[in-house]
A and B are shown apart, each in its own frame.
Chain A
C-alpha cells in the first residue's frame, strides 16, 4: 500500500515537473537585439546624399538626434510598409527637421542615392524637411551594419535581400534605441523621440490582461492605477501573521496559568 502511494506520488510529481517544463516564449534570434548594441558608438562614415552633397554622419547627429533606416531600392518586402508607416507617423507627431533628422540609407551596393529617392517617391514618401536619402561605401556599410546589429542576406533566386525592418535612434553618435518591425506607431515613435532627446523613458512589460493576482491594473486612457487581487498576497502575510502571534500568546496564557496553578494549587 505504502509502495503504491509512493509510486503514485512520484508519478504525480514527475508528471508535474515534466508538464511544467513548458518553455517560455523567447525572442526571435533573427531579429536585431537592442540590448546588444544600445549605447554603442556609431562609426562616423561619409554618406553620399541624393541632393548631390556628401556629409559625415556626425554632421547630422551634432545638429540634432538622428533616426537611421536601412532599406534598398528594389525591395518588394518590408521596406515600403516601414517607410510609409514612418512617413505617416512623423506627419502626425511632427518635429522632422526641427527635433530630429531621418536618414534613409541603402544597404544594396548597386543603389544610387537618386534611385533610393525615386523608390521613396514611388511608394508615397516624397522628400520633406529633415529627411535625407543616401548611400555609403561598402566598407563603411560593413562598419555600420556591425555597429547597429543590422543584417542582410542576398536571395539569389529573387534578386532580393532577406533583412529585418529596423530603425536606429542615435543621440550624440550613440545608439539609444533600436526599433524592429514593419511599422511604427505614434506612441512608439514618441517614446523613441523622448529617448533621442535624452528624457528618461520608463519601460515595463505589461502582464497579460487575463493574468490573475496582479498588483495593480492600469487604465491607459485615464492613467489611473487600481488595486488588483495580487495586493492580497502582499498584505496576506501581515493579515495572517499578526493574528497568529496573538493566538500564540493566547495559547501561551493557558500554559502560564497552568504552571502557576501547578506551583500554587489554590489559584
Chain B
C-alpha cells in the first residue's frame, strides 16, 4: 500500500510538472498572440481615425481585422483562462496531460487556419452570422468559407476534448452532488469542496453543452455548404450565440476559478466554498444557457417570452459576479495586508474591470436599453471593459503569477507599477471613448463614419492615444514577464 501511495504521488507530481509546462507554453502563446491581435484593434481605431486612408485604401482589411481580432481574442481568452484554471485545479484532481497537449496542438492548427483566412481577407465579422460567410459579394474567395468551417471544426473538437477530460478528472474524485456542492445546501461542509472544483464543474458541464451547440451550428453550415440550399438563419443565429455567449462567459468563469485559488496567496486569507457561493454557481449553470437570448432582441421573429427569459437569465447570471466574487474580493482586500505585486494588482483590477463591464452588460441586456444602444459603439464599450480591462488583465496576472512562482525571480517594483498604471489609464481611456461614442449614437462595425456621426472620428483619434499607452504598458510587461518566463522555463527544465 505504501508503494502504491509513493507511485501515486510520483504520478501526481509528474502530472503537475506537465501542467506547469503546459501553462508556460500557453503563457508564451498569450504573450505572442495578444500583442498581434491587439495591434489589429489598434489598426481598426487608426482606420476609423482616417489616418490610414491613403496607406490602406482597401477597406476590406478593416473588416478582415475585425473578424480575426474578435474571433482571436475570444478564443485566446477562453483557452488561456482554461489553462489557468487547469493549473490550479491540477492540485486537486489528476488531469491527463496527453489529452490537454493534443487539444493544444489542435487549437494551434485552428488558429493557423484563421490567420490564413485573414490574409485572404475573410471578413464576415467575428459573429460570422449565417449566411454571411457564404456571401462574400467578391470580398473574399468562396473557399475561405470552407477553411473557416474546417477551423471551427478543429477548434470545436479540441475544446470539446478538453472539456470532457476536465469532467472526467473531476468525476474521478468527486460525485456530481459533491462537485456541485449540493451537500452545502443540506448544511454539511464535508467533504470540503475547493471553490476551483465547484467552478470547474460548472464550466465543464456548460462548456460541453455550448460545444454541442457549436456542433449543431456547424451541421447547419455544412448542410448549406453541401446542398447549396438555405437553412433557417434564425436557428443558426440562436445556435451561434448559444455557443459564443456561453463560451465567453466560461472564459470569465475560468479566470474567476483561478482567482479563487490564487488571490489568497497574496492576501493571506483563505477563499473557501460557502453556501451563497454554491447557490450562485448552481444558478449560473442553469441560467447561462438562456442568457444568450439578449443577443437576439432585434430579431422580432423570436416570441416575446423568449426575450423576457433572456432578460431574466441575463440578470440572473450576474449573481456570482455581484454577490459572490466581488464581495468575496472586497473581503480579501479590506483591511488586510495584501502583498501587491504585478500579478495580484492585475488580478484585482481585472475583477474591477469585470464588475464595471458586467454592470454595462446587465444594462445592455435590458430590452429598453438594448433597443436604443444595440447597434452603437456602446456595445463594444461594455464588452471591451470586461474583456480588456477585466479578463485580459486577469490573464496577464495569471502569466505574471505563474512565471514568478516558477522562476522565483524578484520583481522590479517600479517597473511593475509603471505597467499597471499604463495599462489601467490606457485601458479605461480607450473604453471610455467607446462609451462616449455610443452616447453620441456612433454606429458600430463602421470602418469610416458618415458626416452625421463624424464625432466618432474624433473619439477614435483620442482612443488611439490611450491605445498607445496600452501598447507601451504591454511592451514593459513583455520585458518584465518575458525575463521571468525564460527563467521559469530554465528552472522547469532543470527540475
Write the residues of chain A forming the contact surface with B, with a CB cutoff of 8 angstroms. Answer: 16-17, 19-24, 202, 204-205, 207-208, 211, 213-216, 218, 225, 230, 233-234, 236-238, 240-242, 244-246, 248-249, 251-253, 255-256, 259, 262-263
Tell me whether chain A's interface is mostly helix, strand or loop, or mixed.
helix
Per-position 1/0 for B214-243, Cβ under 8 A of A: 011000100001111011111100110010
A174 to chain B, nearest CB (A): 11
> A238–B289 contact, CB under 8 A?
yes
Taking a contact as CB atoms closer than 8 A, the residue among A216, A248, A253 that contacts B167 in the complex is A248
* Residues of chain A within 8 A of B174, CB atoms compared: 252
Decide: B168 and A213 in contact? CB cutoff 8 A: no
B220 with A218: CB separation less than 8 A: no
A241 cross-chain contacts in B, Cβ below 8 A: 205, 208-209, 212
Q: A230-B234, A233-B239, A252-B174 are in contact. List 15 more A-B contacts (CB 8 A).
A: A19-B228, A24-B228, A204-B300, A207-B232, A213-B235, A216-B301, A216-B303, A230-B235, A237-B210, A237-B215, A240-B212, A249-B179, A252-B172, A252-B173, A259-B172
Cα separation A202 to B170 with both chains bound (whole Å): 48
- Tell yes or no: B204 within 8 A of A by CB: yes
Task: Say yes or no for B460: interface residue by CB 8 A criterion.
Answer: no
On B, residues with C-beta under 8 Å from A are: 1, 4, 131, 134-135, 142, 146, 164, 167-168, 170-176, 179, 204-205, 208-210, 212-213, 215-216, 220, 225-228, 230-235, 238-239, 242, 289, 299-303
A-B contact pairs, 26 of them (CB 8 A): A20-B226, A20-B228, A21-B142, A24-B135, A202-B300, A205-B233, A207-B230, A207-B232, A207-B233, A213-B220, A213-B231, A215-B232, A216-B301, A230-B234, A234-B238, A236-B216, A241-B209, A245-B176, A246-B176, A248-B167, A249-B176, A251-B168, A252-B171, A252-B172, A252-B175, A256-B173
Residue of A nearest to B164 (CB): A248
List the B side residues contacting A240 at CB < 8 Å: 209, 212
The answer to whether B230 touches A215 (Cβ under 8 A) is no
Q: Give the complex CA separation of A241 and B203 in angstroms.
A: 12
Which are the 9 A-B pairs with shortest beta-carbon distances?
A252-B171, A22-B228, A241-B209, A237-B212, A230-B235, A249-B176, A237-B213, A20-B226, A214-B232
CB distance from B288 to the nearest CB of A (A): 11
Beyond A214-B234, A225-B303, A253-B175, whether A20 also contacts B227 by CB under 8 A is yes
A24 and B131 in contact, given A218-B301, A246-B176 (Cβ under 8 angstroms)? yes
- What residue of chain B has the Cβ atom nearest to residue A229's Cβ? B235
Please name the residue on chain A nearest to B235 by beta carbon: A230
A4 to B236, CA, bound (A): 37
Question: Do A234 and B235 form a contact, CB below 8 Å, given A20-B225, A246-B176, A252-B171?
Answer: yes
Within 8 Å by CB of A211, from B146, B216, B230, lies: B230
Contact partners of B302 in chain A: CB under 8 A: 215-216
Chain B proximity of A21: nearest CB distance (Å): 7
Q: How far is the CA of A24 from the CA of B229 in the complex (A)?
A: 8
Distance of B249 from chain A, by nearest CB (Å): 15
